[in-house]
A and B are shown apart, each in its own frame.
Chain A
Amino acid sequence: MFAQNNAGLKGIVLDEQNIPLPGATVTLNVEKHGTVTDENGEFILANIPVGWYILEVSFLGFEKFNKKIHLLNYQQLQIRLHSSVHELQEVNISEFTKERQREVTTSYTFVDQSFLTKNESGSLMQTLSKLPGISSMDIGSGNSKPVIRGLGFNRVVVAENGLKHEGQEWGHDHGLEIDQHSVERIEIIKGPASLMYGSNAIVGVIDLRQLAVPVRNSKGGNVEVRSATNNKLYGFSTNLFQRNENWYWKARLSGKSYSDYRVPADSIEYMSYYFRLHNQQLRNTAGFEASASTTVGYQGTNSASHLTLSNVFMKSGFFANAHGLEIRSSLIPYDESDRDIDIPSQQVNHIKIMSNSYRTTNLAEFRLDIGYQHNLRKEFSEPVPHGYMPLPPDTLERQFSKHAASLHASTSIHSLEHHELKTGLSAEFQKNIRSGWGFIMPDYSSMSAGLYIVDKIEISNHWLISTGLRYDVGSISTADYKDWYSTPVNEVPVRLERAWRLNRNYHSISWAIGTTFLNGPLQLKMNAGKSFRMPNAKELSSNGLNYHMFRYEKGDSTLNAEESYQLDLGLDLIKPRWEVHLSTFINYFPNYIYLNPTAQYYEAQQIFYHRQSQVFRSGGELSASVKMTNELSWNMDIEYIWSVQLSGEKKGYTLPFTPPFSATTGFSFEQNLKGWLPNFYTGIDLQFTADQNRIVPPEKKTPGYQLVNLRAGGTVKLENLHVELSLQFKNIFNVKYYDHTSFYRLIEVPGPGRNLFISLNFPL
């Protein structure tokens, strides 16, 4: 029993259904005395000096229990935890990231829901562009393309639960078809990643994870509503989930609608032509998005499997006065409404069915991911006769219907001492069918398969080496295509042949070798790797006028698979009061596939053709933060990319869309107060972007600018309702600036003006 002047506490921890919770953490005065509940949910804390204590009980997936107690002698307590139903929880995330941070030998960033909420922007990539080394190529206010360290298009892989997302990544104006609210956490790898992800993972991977599993015997959901002032956005997203012992389901429904967005300018001056803007709004850039997804899953002790079905539909308009580079005036009454979507416009419907499963034994872990997706993209323009093309019959300029099936199977053997051996196989099949009156590339089908092996060697507790090898084979077959109208050739009308049947086979070896060295606050990383990318159908077989850019684009059927060699160095210093993260890279392409603007014309349009050249790139990111007090911290992010073409017709030039040097610095204040506004946070950021004077045709030099952004939020307690509030005030001084990598940069359209964004998240 207990000694006279000592007290003790005995108790049981239960959930709302009075089921005992084994493994809950019980502490008195934070860490001073602590224990974990046994298999019956019971605990004992003995030999505690008499006095006042703060008892804290926590268990993953449940709200923390707090109580001030006066321990005089032996006491008994029954503690009931309430599940934090509005949040889906997973295996201990911080442990998980720590481990991943160690085993990924290139730069690794983990993004959780709280980052996404605090920084939410018009599209997923705009939200993520706050991270150093990540940027977005924006197409208006609701669409964007991913860019990692200055490269995008087909050189970045966006994956969902390990399987590649398949859209029409080659297009300048084709954004990412993903509902940003469906994303639960994101892993970003900056560095060569073909070893695990195959073709296209040249500069990195953005892997969206939707694998959060609800806790046992729980149900719940939330509704988020949001609004923004600049593009009069209204949006909502709601999710529901339920789990019994092992089976669970999740469902989500999201929608948003936005008007033409506002720029701090009364007119746009392009090619000495003035487009007067109505109400400072960028004519016909409104849009809407609707998406739904549902998951059914089984979570056992040693195995899990889930199946997700999702559909994303998005439609948005293009700036009406100059689609691509051509200036047009139209009879469409664009200014009648700022919410209607007239032509030119684009719409995409993306269906995805995915299954992710694993099974763990004492020896190994087996994983199987299977997916099917259908991306249906339609692009509408006013039918206009052009060149020899007569008046087209309708507004459907381009349509692409892409079916993709993919599979990834892997085995990790974790029973070996000091080694973790992983082997895997992935395969993919694609078919892309085009239609519409504007021809840019022919129909194609492609297949690829890869086999890899990775070994992680624990040299010591501090030192890990990771090395791997992969072999891929692939093939692409493109169809032939003839114009639907005739062109006079020596005065004889001929339906010109634009594409020919082509079959190309590729094979490539990828590899990586890297190391992580951990010593107290210091973490050093080094990685060397080779990645590759099979040329796509547009690079091989395009042969037509790209009306969105107003240029004649020509493929090259002899292109080889693009290869990239990269060396990454990383340094992280994490002290209790301050942190420094530095990651740098040097990158060499012996045969970068480049769409080269030439001096020649074809049917009066400038010819751009695909060529391969040597490219050297270097750059990196530097982040630092200092905790000035427990609540107040200062942070800074710097990023810089430098690239040069070492051979070919553009020797000495940079690569297109190279982001300028940028630095962001700011203060943030976070407080975990109790009361009516717990978890209060606020922050101010100054974003400094330098001039970009290193350009390549048809780009324009872009002057630098500074933006100031504010954010604030917290949990608002209204009776029993805990509402998460998030506010963002962007470009507060309404600065007129040009975003060098925006789709609209070439037609001198400035970036969006002042914008106040608000979101409210209610638990159900």
Chain B
Amino acid sequence: MNKVLLLALLFTLSFTACEKMSDDYDDESPVIDMTAIDASPQNCITIFRGEPLEFNAVFTDNIELGSFSIEMHHNFDHHTHSTDAEHCEEEGEEEEKTPVSPFRWIENYTIPSGLKSYTATVTIPIPQGVDVGLYHFMVRLTDAAGWQTFKGISVKIAEK
């Protein structure tokens, strides 16, 4: 029976030993805050061809921010990935259409290392010749540990 006890002891020991090993790792995702008055773009806004689109948001993380990306693509087929629960009114009115020269923006941005809070501002030029219509504006943010948060915003590009 001694052997049994020994094994049982070994079993419990290995578990308790494990529990005591380092537990100080980050398990929280970063946050994209677009509630500020000057946060932009807001869901369902209309922007104009030939005018710049200003991106303005506050990123925060409990340990350290990583980097972010902005991707803008057309939503002429009305696929939805807005993360805002509300639908934009314009979506119902707009006809589905085939893209001719849709606007596209795919960029990755760095955040200076060591920051827990960062105010991101990016100016995105919308050229004159792009298709008007519904677009998606996607912001993705990581922290240094690799946790990701994203936000999807519906915007409309219109003729001024």
Contact = CB atoms under 8 A, between A and B. Distances in A.
A604 B147 contact: no
A602 B67 CA distance: 11
B73 A599 contact: no
Contacts of A334: none
Nearest to B12: A584
Contact of A599 (B4, B15, B142): B142
Contacts of A331: 78
A303 interface: no
The size class of the interface chain A forms with chain B is 35 or more
B37 interface: no
Contact of A327 (B70, B81, B146): B81
Contacts of B99: 385
Given A329-B78, A329-B79, A652-B22, A604 B3 contact: no
A271 B150 contact: yes
Mostly, the B contact residues are mixed
A693 to B, nearest CB: 8
Interface string B9-25: 01100110011011111
B27 A701 contact: yes
Mostly, the A contact residues are strand
Given A599-B67, A599-B145, A618-B18, A388 B3 contact: no
B47 to A, nearest CB: 19
A693 B71 CA distance: 32
Interface in A435-479: none
A171 interface: no
Contacts, number: 124
The size class of the interface chain B forms with chain A is 35 or more
A573 interface: yes
Contacts of A522: 4
B81 A272 contact: no
A618 B14 contact: yes
Interface string A693-728: 101011001000000000000000000000000000
A500 interface: no
A384 to B, nearest CB: 7
A606 B140 contact: yes
B100 interface: no
Contacts of A274: 85
A387 B77 CA distance: 15
B147 A584 contact: no
Contacts of A272: 83-85
Contacts of A650: 25, 145-146
A597 B138 contact: no
B24 A652 contact: yes
Contacts of A642: 15, 18-19
B80 A328 contact: yes
A601 B146 contact: no
A414 B56 CA distance: 77
A215 to B, nearest CB: 42
Interface in B66-110: 66-71, 73, 77-85, 99, 104, 106-108
23 contacts: A272-B83, A272-B85, A274-B85, A327-B80, A328-B79, A384-B77, A385-B73, A387-B71, A524-B3, A569-B11, A571-B3, A586-B14, A598-B66, A599-B66, A601-B68, A601-B142, A606-B140, A606-B142, A618-B14, A640-B15, A642-B15, A644-B21, A650-B146
Interface of B: 3-4, 7-8, 10-11, 14-15, 18-19, 21-25, 27, 66-71, 73, 77-85, 99, 104, 106-108, 138, 140, 142-148, 150, 152
Q: Which 3 A-B pairs have the closest CB atoms?
A: A599-B66, A597-B146, A604-B69
